Amino acid sequence: MAAVIAVAACSAVSCGKDKDSGSIDFERPAVYLDHRQSETVGFSINNIKVSTLSITTKPSGWDNITLDAAARTVTVVSPSAEDTDAATSGSVVLSGKPSGGGADVTATLFVGVAGSEDLSARPANCYLANRKETCYQFDAAHNGRDVLATRKVGVVWQSATNLVQNVYFDALSGKASFYVGADDEGKVKEGNALLGAYDAHDNLIWSWHVWVTDFDPDAAGGAVEFNGQSMMNRNLGARATVDASTAGTLESFGLFYQWGRKEPFIGPVSCNGANGTSAAMYNESGKRAYLKTAASDSETGTLKYATANPLTFITVAEKDADWMHSGDAAERWSADSKTLYDPCPYGWRVAPAEAFAGLAIRENLAGDIADYEDKYGWTLGAAGTGGAESFFVAAGRRSWYDGSVQNYFDESLLSRAREMQPWVGYYWTGGSSGAMSPAFCLWLADELADSNVRNDRPMGRANGMQVRCVKAK
């Protein structure tokens, strides 16, 4: 991939008594270019007259930045790759002096070197972003089947502030773009985000999960072969796949899904889910975002409502029930093929129950149950010796009753299932049966045995559980 430069735009309002006294605004927040190539960005002057316009700040080495006041454009040219003294990022400030006096109005462009990748040819409800300092694009005018009336794209929630940056929708191309940076160690900054498409009335009409992770399921070791199915070696949304005795256990949890919904729900704040508390989420402004709940009825228990309310966990009054109250249930997940609401990345789908058939615990189970309580999962593989294996974390589930995370037992939680203690893992499959669907589950019970693994346990679809993706055939 060619190196490119990112240009992110924001504006500042003049310091007058009236907060709406005037502003300069750029037409787009992000532009991406190869080295020594240019891009022209338009700007508008709103509710104010200015006598002069000028570029007052630019990064070192970014000398070819020009202003056309008459056309109201700024043209940015990136430094050459050979210009090692040039700054890799910085700010370009456009200032306007009000005709009637007072403080200048300004707009700021953040510029920086980055890579680019267009995902538009791989439509899905989940996009893998595994390259640092890269601008990603995807088609936000379609959902894989329908044309969307998208007018803007924004962050619904993200697991860390500034995980995805410079989110922008280009109405001409129909593509949305976002930037993924690097962490303090120079690696891709990992986490999860949900980007939403909004119509002209600011209604959320579709959303896409962005899985930011240093992981490529198509690379060597990224998937394992179970029962003729190529399965990712980690949960959907997980930042790692580790032996659960290590400090990275929580990073293996991944995200939670109600059966048939494409919208992910964030995991717990700790491995011990006794208090049911969720990890932190943040909106586009960096403020906390929170999970909501709504009881399923003729309005809320529909795909339309679920799509428009991705932060709302739809609860039911009875165990083993479906969150969907009415609508076309056939549009949801399938054991046979990838559907419109499948939550996996392009080329992958929710695993069928037969993909988990015959998996057995690989560990030596000698010892006391207490020896395994901090493990939070098993390494599973085909029965006998040799063959593929993968670690399956026991992240519990989000309760059908109130959406809280449950995977640990204490005396105050006697109303919860005994088999969940001290931990249990539930993984949805694509199959269905009435209001329930078969789940792959594993748990630490009173007796240590391979019987603590089951691939077809019926579970109410209102539960929020883990997903493993397999190659779509």
Burial of 56 (0-12, 13-18, 19+ CB in 10 A): exposed
| Rounded average pLDDT over 344-359 | 95
Query: For residue 369, what are its two tokens?
Result: 């149950």
- Per-residue pLDDT at 170: 92
Domain boundaries 4-113, CATH class: mainly beta
Q: What is the CA radius of gyration of the chain?
A: 25
pLDDT band per the 50, 70, 90 thresholds, residue 37: confident
Which tens digit of pLDDT belongs to each residue from 160-194?
999 999 899 999 999 999 999 888 888 899 999 99
Residue 1 pLDDT more than 90? no
Beta strands in 240-369 (DSSP E): 257-258, 281-282, 288-289, 292-295, 312-315, 348-350, 359-361
**Highest mean pLDDT pick, 181-185, 248-252, 344-348:** 344-348
> What's the confidence (pLDDT) of residue 449?
66
The token duo for 190 is: 């990992």
pLDDT band with cut points at 50, 70 and 90 for residue 16: very low
Positions of CATH 2.60.40 in the chain = 4-113
Q: Locate 18 and state its tokens.
A: 């009236």
Mean pLDDT of 434-439: 88
* Mean predicted lDDT score pLDDT of the chain: 88
Average pLDDT score over residue span 428-440 = 89
pLDDT digits (tens, 9 = 90+) for 289-327: 999 999 999 999 999 999 999 999 999 999 889 999 987
pLDDT at 199 over 60: yes
- In 119-202 the beta strands, taken as DSSP E runs, fall at 126-129, 134-139, 152-158, 164-170, 175-180, 191-198
Residues 6+ apart with CB under 8 A from 283: 155, 156, 157, 158, 289
* The pLDDT of residue 13: 43
Q: Which of the four pLDDT bands, split at 50, 70 and 90, describes residue 422?
A: confident
**Which of 12-21, 269-278, 279-288 is most confident?**
279-288
Of residues 88 and 209, more confidence is placed in 209
Structure-block tokens of residue 163: 């995980």
pLDDT over 50 (residue 374): yes
**Residue 18 in this model has a pLDDT that exceeds 70:** no
Instruction: State percent of the chain over pLDDT 70.
Output: 89
